[in-house]
Structure 1
Amino acid sequence: MLVCVVPEDFAEVLEDYTKQGFRVIALAHRRLESKLTWHKVQNVNRDQMEANMEFLGLIIMQNKLKAETSGVLEDLRRAHIRTVMVTGDNLLTAISVARDCGMIPPQDQVIIADALPPKDGQAAKITWRYADNPSKHVGKAPCLEEVEINLEDVRHTHKPQDQYHFAMSGKSFAVITEHFQDLLQKLVLRGTVFARMAPDQKTELIEALQSVDYFVGMCGDGANDCGALKRAHGGISLSELEASVASPFTSRTPNISCVPSLIREGRAALITSFCVFKFMALYSIIQYVSVTLLYSILSNLGDFQFLFIDIAIILLIVFTMSLNPAWKELVSRCPPSGLISGPLLFSVLTQILICLGFQTIAFLWVRHQAWYHIWTPQSDACNSSLSANLGPEHNSSEERDVHNIKNYENTSLFYVSSFQYLIVAIVFSKGKPFRQPSYKNWPFVVSCIGLYIFLFFIMFYPVSAIDEFLEIVCVPFEWRITLFFIIIVNAAMSVLVETLVLDVVLWKLVFSRDKQGGYGATHAAPTTQGGIDLWGAKCLSWLCCRRRKVPKARYMHLAQELSVDPDWPPKPTTTTEAKPPLPGNPPENGSSYQIMADS
């Protein structure tokens, strides 16, 4: 207790320093009785020991932001990744630091939720108040520049009531968690600063964010963060001591610059997994189509053809196509989160149809050539004059192809399908925005170039030893040119569908998550081209996604509800009071509340 010796302006001075972002420690002392020995002092209750103390003063400390912090938070903001501060510091200090580092923009309002538990028969209540006047911080914004503002942009900007953040202390968070369960999800949707938080409260906050379908990453550097680091979807420890035991990732760099790097690497790894999965799926389907078409004429691929495809092509491509490093920047576009997703299924199905179509064309077209007939060693299309000079006794002694492997259909499909493996590998091995371009993956580039050279060589310059080993037959040079054009058109269609139709049209207009809204998205005014894209998005969404009216994520659904709620956010002149549930009629979400205006 410091009743008589505390200055009257103590609260004002403390608030002034904490609003500036300083850490404040109060000093006080008390002279103990002489009969208290060292061992007796150890057993004295802390409340008794700290009673009737004499106030000495305040220690003001400044913990400056690290140079990397503001830049990292700006990168996360541009990527539409929401950031939340969970700290043990004073609430006003935390709000000041959040403004200084850019976590809270200068023009945004901060609403503090002061929650009080039930007392003397009164219900728990929350008092709402502004932390400060946002206009005071406009001058502190770093790197302000003159920009030209299009008047058409004004009507597309956020309304003032949408630019707010909630802040609360650990005591208020505990009261809200216990008595305002149905209000908690609404608060975490816009909660940015949580101060004076105990270790278990940090874990509860992670769980509250996950309850509205957020994917939560936690970055901490102390033993107090162990529970939250373990509970989050991805935990990053900045310390190699206690926190590193509970965290899946440990950074040797003692700042948050590792967060964007980890996200970029994770997205690149996810896209790489999808690329390899799609390639292996297409590899199986391409080979299945080739075998099915050959079965129709009682033929098949040869043993060494299978061996060449599986080892020389597939094994080499799979090992090298996954070596693309992560993209150097963190982008706002999110990769697909599962194998059963629109972009991935569209990509696989369209490539299957393209490969099926061109193999079928080659299979049927070769049978309509003027030189086509059932192949025998004497009736080779490249050596048709040989059969006229050989007698029937030579034909009868020639070894026959009992498995019907050597024929024109087999050879044509082998050439086309071999190139198709390389085409889909290149098409699926995407670079930006999640991975570095494929041309920087030198093992993959060298492998593809080497395989292309070899396949073109054996197709245009047949070598008898290689043809005999792979069990392929010689075809006229004109048909090789025809196969070459079939392969070129196949490659052009695959690239066109994957890059233009999927990446540009469908992803931007249908599959893009940015069109679904949600907290953290930056909505800019559409340009003329943007207006066309938006109109196209509405048309394609109506055609392709008519059943996805309601967002799947809980936080998006809440954001839509709150955007049309006239009583949200609570005004600083109001108090939210918990209402006890009626007997036999418990509230749907575990609690109930009413908003009352202050008198």
Structure 2
Amino acid sequence: MDKEERKTINQGQEDEMEIYGYNLCRWKLAIVSLGVVCTGGFLLLLLYWMPEWRVKATCIRAAVKDCEVVLLRTTDEFRMWFCAKIRFLSLETPPFSSSKSMANKVSNGHAVHLTENLAEENRLEMNKYSQSQSQQIRYFTHHSVKYFWNDTLHNFVFLKGLDEGVSCTSIYEKHSAGLTKGMHAYRKLLYGVNEIAVKVPSVFKLLIKEVLNPFYIFQLFSVILWSTDEYYYYAIAIVIMSVVSIISSLYAIRKQYIMLHDMVAAHSTVRVSVCRVNEEIQEIFSTDLVPGDVMVIPLNGTVMPCDAVLINGTCIVNESMLTGESVPVTKTNLPNPSVDVKGMGDELYSPETHRRHTLFCGTTVIQTRFYTGELVKAIVVRTGFSTSKGQLVRSILYPKPTDFKLYRDAYLFLLCLVAVAGIGFIYTIINSILNEVEVGDIIIESLDIITITVPPALPAAMTAGIVYAQRRLKKVGIFCISPQRINICGQLNLVCFDKTGTLTEDGLDLWGIQRVENTRFLLPEEKVCNEMLVKSQFVACMATCHSLTKIEGVLSGDPLDLKMFEAIGWILEEATEEETALHNRIMPTVVRPPKQLLPESTPAGNQEMELFELPAIYEIGIVRQFPFSSALQRMSVVARVLGDRKMDAYVKGAPEVIAGLCKPETVPVDFEKVLENYTKQGFRVIALAHRKLESKLTWHKVQNISRDAIENNMDFMGLIIMQNKLKRETPAVLEDLHKANIRTVMVTGDNMLTAVSVARDCGMILPQDKVIIAEALPPKDGKVAKINWHYADTLTQSSDSSAVDSEAIPIKLVHDNLEDLQVTRYHFAMNGKSFSVILEHFQDLVPKLMLHGTVFARMAPDQKTQLVEALQNVDYFVGMCGDGANDCGALKRAHGGISLSELEASVASPFTSKTPSISCVPNLIREGRAALMTSFCVFKFMALYSIIQYFSVTLLYSILSNLGDFQFLFIDLAIILVVVFTMSLNPAWKELVAQRPPSGLISGALLFSVLSQIIICIGFQSLGFFWVKQQTWYKESHPHSDTQEAFNTTGSLYGNSSHLYNETNPDRHNIENYENTTVFFISSFQYLIVAIAFSKGKPFRQPCYKN
């Protein structure tokens, strides 16, 4: 294949696709048009269902760079096809020529420099995408994203904003002045309107799309055939069923579209202020924003209409829409490396890495803080579907198909039925020709056999169990937006749990503190709020090192920070807008202890009390805050005590991280031992550190200093010990899952040893089990990547981790025979960094570690998603249960994602539990198993129904008889439909069992069940058919010769088309005979017997008599 004819876009990403170029071919189009006419439109339907066939049938291959149509194929296991039409974007003369004249009008030299830089940057940018002479850009749209042809890369690429390849320095130097009106208009041509357009399709459009489903087309074909055959009653019943099904489906689809539309509509028409290069403030609609615009954040807050990086001021933001956490988050301006007191080296801006400086689309800015005379500004980096919210909506609008063995086997089983129908189809044609039947009747008869063997009601019958299961789930507070996932949940054999808020309570309780004096740990102290500690640096750190803020007079923020601040009993005061306006700088947040904790007087000459000889008014102002970073695992502040010349730096975070930032001589020698003692007991431990800053650091310098310049050379002050209690239901639920042989895995952002301890406490790891920690080290200084193995009981936090004795650990088993390890004896644990190193450098070990990995600590959101994928790659059916906070990706990727949060972040999760407890997991699995078994039962029953009726008609045809219209009607309506919808009503079994339901239809036991029932049914029908002839009262029917002729000309050999003969036969002996009555009664009871035989109860469903 010519390389020019095939390209790859989004290489290395989840949505990687191959792209092929095609041009429209007129003679091919003419042939296809003729074929559509000749097939009565069926070919058009086929090409509608198969886009790749449509393109290949009407187009010829062409180079991608010159094509008119592109054919896209995903590179994942589904290999799905899509097609898109190439469009052209005509560019007017760019506004670069006017840049110098505009620059002359701007007195600020910096602005002149910016204008010229931006003009040159835009010129280069446009040259990459535009054709050399025509000034036209070729592009196509796929899944709401535009891909532009790039002449440099010779490929279609997704047009990025400022979120990739732009340094932090460049953001300030090249983009902070804003865009000219001409540049803005030019960029808008490329990026389009800033909106997440979720258009609610009209009912008519949805109806057409639903009706063109192959299932409904087959039903329409069957109804037309039956009507031609004068079998109106069942046809009407099928029409009614189809109409009800279509209406319910349209209602569900339209409801989801409306929900998504309402979710994204909040920011679609917001008016925003933007800064232009000439320092003009222009008010525009948010839909007109483009990357590079400098947006002014209003004082009273707003809903963010785009992703933007903060360059001026501070914002308090509610990110519940994205993270699921309603806790306000403080966003500070992006560090500017060019003005740092100590340079930190320029780095590329990334919305994820710098999320504490990024305002995400859809999040709510609650408050802003700013310098007098300056505005709170943010530079737009992403718009529309490129934003974080846009990507979330895209994942809902265009979900990955469900890959489940049941559905694959169902299609294979249907093909087998089609093959059986094909035999009858051919036999009917041959026999009809031999009997000189008219052509029209042959067509009806031969097609009629297909509707018997492949029943049109099969898909509706298959979904009945899912519908009932969805109703039962709703009754227990579990809501589902993807009903097909219910069946898959019946196969779950591994469930991943987040820790905080899922296995444990949301809040933390302060257990105590352990301070350090003279490099030694003091005894643990439970009470922090006392006069002896009120003016200590330890309490000052607790009072200032947080991100708390007051919203409508109520203290809000991270639950951990709230507990810590409440424990010391201090008071927090924030400056009002009026107070800020009176000063030439941001007024700091001030904290102070209550008056009753301050000593009233200090005895003179008492050296021990010299520490307390301070002014009566004791306040601390928080001058600068460096928000908590999950990557750095710490936060810090710069504060100043009222009246003190020097400022103080306080930092808190993960103990092992904080210890590495401190002077070695200030860290107690038994630090690792003390920390290990707490973490093994399941406590969450936070370390504090402090240092005095140089007096030369002024207020303004601190506002621009990097956190690396602050967070070093610290003095270690001690530990805060927090207790995170297990939820009451957790141990019992995990025990139920273990009894059912369902593996449980913990995925958390917490400390490794704390996670291991909680895993032991909740029963995820049994007391006698060993835990081996895998510590993977990346390549460094020419050394290859390696893994150190430790028992959790002997792990220390020392840097010389390789010195830990690991000879007792069966390393050979780890590398070669890991499958020999018993799950009940060994568990592997690792942190996020080690997990990433293993994925990259030890791919051969990944499957083995996934089979026995139980605790994954310090995991970032994307690592949680990677873990779910890794577990799925070793053939686990993975469930994920989280509280919505940073679990969105994993919840979407898992076979069964269950969110315990009802916030918008969980909208992409297939299941949402109204009760914030993991007790929903066993309920979901039980209902999933019941629904899955129901699907198996119904499928087997419908297959037997087809075969039984097929054989009944065959037997009766041998004596030139058939079933009558009302006999068919009684079977199809009174028996089959009633049985199908009642056998689906079996509730789930009350408890989970170790046995798992089969995953597919193609299995020995299931096929034996079906085949044995077929043999039994055929045997009894044959026995009854021949036995009745042996009776003394039997009288053989002899149809008249005209009857014979009528049968040969109008009768049906099989199925429902024989009803034509029933209407024309004058003596009706072809219907009213002993054989007909015998076969009809036997087959009627066979339907009921087969339904009971296949309606399996225990251990997955309640018995059928409880329906």
Alignment partner, residue 966 of structure 2: 304
User: 2:864 matched to 1:211?
Assistant: no
- 1:222 and 1:276 map into 2 onto residues whose CA distance is 36
The one of 927, 933, 958 aligned to 1:265: 927
- 1:28 and 1:304 map into 2 onto residues whose CA distance is 87
Alignment partner, residue 417 of structure 1: 1083
Instruction: Render the CA deviation track for 1:242-285: whole Å, top value 9, x for unaligned.
Output: 54123111111112111111111111111111111111111111
Q: 1:130 to 1:407 in 2, by over 3 A?
A: same
Matching of residues 380-529 of structure 1 within 5 Å: 400-402=1066-1068, 404-441=1070-1107
Give the TM-score normalised by the residue count of structure 2.
Answer: 0.35
Amino acid at match of 1:17: Y
Q: 1:161 to 1:320 in 2, by over 3 A?
A: closer
Aligned-pair CA distance for 1:326: 0.7
Amino acid at match of 1:175: V
The one of 1035, 1045, 1051 aligned to 1:373: 1035
- 2:842 and 2:945 map into 1 onto residues whose CA distance is 55
Amino acid at match of 1:9: D
Contact map agreement 2:878 2:896 (CA 8 A) in 1: yes
- 1:242 and 1:190 map into 2 onto residues whose CA distance is 34
Contact map agreement 1:336 1:343 (CA 8 A) in 2: no
- 1:63 and 1:39 map into 2 onto residues whose CA distance is 40
Contact map agreement 2:774 2:789 (CA 8 A) in 1: yes
Aligned-pair CA distance for 1:12: 1.5
Aligned-pair CA distance for 1:104: 1.0
Alignment partner, residue 41 of structure 1: 702
Alignment partner, residue 14 of structure 1: 675
Amino acid at match of 1:240: E
Amino acid at match of 1:316: V
Aligned-pair CA distance for 1:300: 0.4
Two-structure CA RMSD over aligned residues (Å): 2.2
Amino acid at match of 1:407: N
- 1:108 and 1:217 map into 2 onto residues whose CA distance is 24
Matching of residues 277-316 of structure 1 within 5 Å: 277-316=939-978
Contact map agreement 1:188 1:209 (CA 8 A) in 2: yes
- 2:679 and 2:1027 map into 1 onto residues whose CA distance is 81
Aligned-pair CA distance for 1:33: 4.7
Matching of residues 332-351 of structure 1 within 5 Å: 332-351=994-1013
User: 2:726 matched to 1:60?
Assistant: no
Instruction: Render the CA deviation track for 1:397-450: whole Å, top value 9, x for unaligned.
Output: xx9425611111011111111111111111111211111111111xxxxxxxxx
- 2:672 and 2:884 map into 1 onto residues whose CA distance is 30
Larger strand proportion, structure 1 or 2?
A: 2
Amino acid at match of 2:834: S
5+ residue gaps, structure 2:
1-660, 796-819, 1040-1064
Aligned-pair CA distance for 1:201: 1.1
Aligned-pair CA distance for 1:238: 1.0
Amino acid at match of 2:1086: Q
Aligned-pair CA distance for 1:172: 1.3
Amino acid at match of 1:53: M
Amino acid at match of 1:309: I
5+ residue gaps, structure 1:
135-157, 378-398, 442-599
Q: Residue 127 of structure 1: SS of its match in structure 2?
A: strand
Contact map agreement 2:880 2:890 (CA 8 A) in 1: yes
Contact map agreement 1:223 1:242 (CA 8 A) in 2: no
Q: Residue 844 of structure 2: SS of its match in structure 1?
A: helix
Larger helix proportion, structure 1 or 2?
A: 1
- 1:212 and 1:160 map into 2 onto residues whose CA distance is 17
- 1:160 and 1:303 map into 2 onto residues whose CA distance is 63
Give the TM-score normalised by the residue count of structure 1.
Answer: 0.63
Matching of residues 180-195 of structure 1 within 5 Å: 180-195=842-857
The one of 883, 907, 925 aligned to 1:245: 907
Q: 1:332 to 1:311 in 2, by over 3 A?
A: same
Aligned-pair CA distance for 1:162: 7.1
Q: Residue 83 of structure 1: SS of its match in structure 2?
A: strand
Q: Residue 744 of structure 2: SS of its match in structure 1?
A: coil
Q: 1:376 to 1:358 in 2, by over 3 A?
A: same
Amino acid at match of 2:1070: N
Amino acid at match of 1:415: F
Q: 1:251 to 1:96 in 2, by over 3 A?
A: same
- 2:696 and 2:907 map into 1 onto residues whose CA distance is 46
Contact map agreement 2:964 2:1071 (CA 8 A) in 1: yes
Q: 1:70 to 1:39 in 2, by over 3 A?
A: farther
Contact map agreement 1:226 1:242 (CA 8 A) in 2: no
User: 2:743 matched to 1:82?
Assistant: yes
Contact map agreement 1:109 1:133 (CA 8 A) in 2: no
- 1:400 and 1:174 map into 2 onto residues whose CA distance is 82
Q: 1:38 to 1:251 in 2, by over 3 A?
A: farther
Q: 1:132 to 1:346 in 2, by over 3 A?
A: same
Alignment partner, residue 24 of structure 1: 685
Instruction: Render the CA deviation track for 1:534-568: whole Å, top value 9, x for unaligned.
Output: xxxxxxxxxxxxxxxxxxxxxxxxxxxxxxxxxxx
Aligned-pair CA distance for 1:68: 0.9
Amino acid at match of 1:195: A
The one of 354, 362, 365 aligned to 2:1016: 354
Q: Residue 1091 of structure 2: SS of its match in structure 1?
A: helix
Identity in percent? 78
Count how many residue pairs are aligned between Structure 1 and Structure 2: 397
- 2:794 and 2:781 map into 1 onto residues whose CA distance is 34
Contact map agreement 2:1037 2:1070 (CA 8 A) in 1: no
The one of 118, 140, 154 aligned to 2:779: 118
- 2:905 and 2:832 map into 1 onto residues whose CA distance is 21
Q: 1:43 to 1:231 in 2, by over 3 A?
A: farther
Aligned-pair CA distance for 1:159: 8.1
Q: 1:24 to 1:295 in 2, by over 3 A?
A: same
Which consecutive aligned stretches of 4+ in structure 1 deviate over 6 angstroms post-superposition? 158-162
Contact map agreement 1:264 1:329 (CA 8 A) in 2: yes
Query: Whose RCO is larger (CA < 8 A, sep 6+)?
Result: 1
